[in-house]
Amino acid sequence: MDQVVSITAIRRIAVVTVHNPPVNALGPGVPEAIRDAVKSAEANADFDAVVVIGGESTFVSGSDLNYLAQVASGEIPPRDLRGIFLEMEDSGKPVVMAIHGSALGGGLELALAGHYRVLAPSAKLGQPEVNLGLIPGGAGTQRLPRLVGVLKAAEMCALGQSISAQEALALGLADHVVNQDLLAEAVTFAETAPPPNKTRERNDKLVSVNLEDLQGQVRKSMRGRNAPLAAIDSVAKSATVSFEEGCRYEAEQFSRCLTSAESRGLMHAFFGEREVTKIPGVSQDTAVLVIAKAGVIGAGTMGAGIAMVYANAGIPVLLREVTQEALDRGMNHIRKNYASTVSKGRLTQPEMDARLARITPQLGYDGFEQCDVITEAVFEQMQAKKKIFQDLDRVAKPTCILASNTSTLDVDEIASATKRPEYVLGHHFFSPAHIMRLLEIVRGRGTSDAVLASSMVLAKRLKKVAVLSGNARGFIGNRILHPYIREAQFLVEEGASVEDVNSAIYDFGMPMGPLAMCDLIGLDVEYRIHQESRLYHKPGIREPFCIDILYKENRYGQKNGKGFSGYASGRHSVADTAVTQMIHAEAAKKGLAKRDISREEIADRCILALVNEGARVLETGTAMRAVDIDIVYLTGYGFPSYRGGPMFYADEIGLDRVLARVVEFQAAHGEDLWSPAPLLVKLAHLGHKFADHHLGGHS
């Protein structure tokens, strides 16, 4: 490998610089090279002390995740990071860690192994391993509490949150925050540094504290996760056992976490967000269009949110409506959202004013000829959208990207209203657009590679996770959601209560149950979707009726305080037994026998309905890869991140088991509803996974 560490001299100080771009990760050989450089400087009589600093833009941002994945899979043996850091800490000469950018995970553990820490004012420090289902593995749970105290260390390791240089100084994690030149001030600090002060020998802050409140917070905010609790336990050990025994406990917990399904799911999600940005067949070198100005058609909830997305990214945006009343309503919605963010301390008033100033509300198309991207966000009606695209074809400059925010309609038919189908595609934002991370980018038959590549780059600038979808009804997310909602209704019709269904799926890890989600979206909206989707169903197929009868009873969900559940005070739901009785009475009229339904069946029917439909979406090429479906569901629908997405979850439990369960449901409920997807059958019989299949690939 190229030289990753260099040693230079500034007066009598050895400067050890880490060169492992882009973030100086502790990949194979890097910790060893840093240790060897420190030991070399210690043995050199020309040096009185050592400064360790990161090259380029950061200190050390953590461990190499590809390396960790290989260790977890057993491909390579683990290294002794604790032993490497011990050797550094045992240096007879002061070791000063000069930190700029980020010192995260293994990077902070490296810093803790030094005797002193000098920080740039903008430095960030943290132990975010829990975000990958891990705990610190280089004695971080034992050294950190010796500097910041047990409670703060437990919070940092369990919640994965970073702290600033100023907070690090106040806590005792930093010894000095520089004013100007980090390297120069770190060298000066090293020249007058006291003898080595080993972190592992500092015990004055090791006082046992009650961590029950933190454990309760973690169980609530990181529901279903084990790593945060393991991190708390490991930190707690620091106050009750020796450093060596604490390290042994940490090692046991780290090893258990590294090979857990939780870590596999979270790592899959982490790598997946990077994988979905790559479009097979579209070169990474494809020239992209410059986006300097945007336009949005429609100032309803979605249009207003999309305008905020552009304004938040620093892109001026024209927001068009057809009436002053609708325009005012949209701008008031935007102001209210921004004001709420300011009131919560997440945005300053000057920042709010600057963002609002980037949004120009108007009734006409003046200025739209200057836009580089225009997003149509009017109601879901094909003729209305085609009329707008006819107008845009006339108004917009030839190189302008024309995007529809449609969630279901045919992008090719929309493009047919223009003479430039190569510039037309779908940009399907998720509501609320200024908050939700997912953006489905829908490729039409004529969409050019340059427009696709430009949309991917734009999404990153907008801080969205973009997933490419083929042009099929419902695209990826909503297409797969339909059978999930269908089965939730069927389960109530067959005897489960609304609360049974919602709680079983909540316990699986979803943020809310499927029927609670329908109440949030609005049963009036769901009713219209169901009426339209029936047009595409096989005649005579069993259709759910729950939403139909609730809609006719004027139960629209949270918006009017009554849906599947009651909402007497805002969003807090209360059980309404009349609803279940109403549905069961209707079921009896239709000859559906009421029966006891287990929580296992509820979870399997809802989640495996997602999986089976996902297999069809994958087989037809609407999604290019299984990971595309996973990222859609992780970022747009709240699928539990530690389960890695529906397709990864199916791979984890085994496609043979998934197939067997689907066949059971087919026997019980008919092949029209539960016919196994051919791809599922094929992969299960071959012993393969969904991850093995991709568009144009072979399984």
For residue range 513-534, list pLDDT tens digits in order: 999 999 998 998 888 877 777 7
Condensed to tens digits (0 to 9), the pLDDT of residues 120-147 reads 999 999 999 999 999 999 999 999 999 9
Residues 449 and 489 in one domain: no
Mean pLDDT of 553-568: 91
Q: Which domain holds residue 303?
A: 294-471
pLDDT exceeds 70 at position 697: no
Same domain, 158 and 41: yes
Q: From residue 203, how far is each of 96, 169, 206, 243, 347 by CA, in Å?
A: 20, 18, 5, 10, 40
- Specify the CATH number for the domain of residue 521: 1.10.1040.50
Evaluate whether 568 touches 561 at the Cβ level (below 8 Å): yes
Residue 168 lies in a domain: yes
Would you say the C-alpha torsion 164, 166, 171, 172 has a positive or negative sign? positive
Confidence of residue 75 (pLDDT cuts 50, 70, 90): confident
CATH number at residue 437: 3.40.50.720
Summarised one tens digit per residue, pLDDT across range 211-238 is 999 999 999 999 999 999 999 999 999 9
Q: Is pLDDT of 698 > 50?
A: no
Whether the full predicted model's pTM is greater than 0.85, yes or no, is yes
Task: Please identify every residue annotated as catalytic.
Answer: 109, 129
Task: Please tell me whether residues 434 and 527 are part of one structural domain.
Answer: no
Which band of pLDDT confidence, cut at 50, 70 and 90, is reported for residue 72?
A: confident
- Asked if residue 283 is part of any domain, the answer here is no
User: What is the C-alpha separation between 298 and 296, in angstroms, rounded?
Assistant: 6
pLDDT tens across 613-655, in order? 999 999 999 999 999 999 999 999 999 999 999 999 999 999 9
Residue-averaged pLDDT of the chain? 94
**Are 462 and 510 members of one domain?**
no
pLDDT at 449 over 70: yes
22 preceded by a cis bond (ω within 30 of 0): yes
Q: Are residues 300 and 382 in the same domain?
A: yes
Mean pLDDT of 500-520: 96
CATH code for the domain in which residue 13 is found: 3.90.226.10
- Per residue in 571-611, pLDDT (tens digit) is 788 999 899 899 999 999 999 989 999 999 999 999 999 99
Q: Does 696 score more than 70 pLDDT?
A: no
Number of domains in the chain: 3
Query: First vs last Cα of the chain: how many Å apart?
Result: 35
- Non-local (6+) Cβ contacts of 671 within 8 A are none
pLDDT class for 699, splitting at 50, 70, 90? very low
Domain match, 462 and 484 both = no
What's the whole-number mean pLDDT along residues 338-348? 93
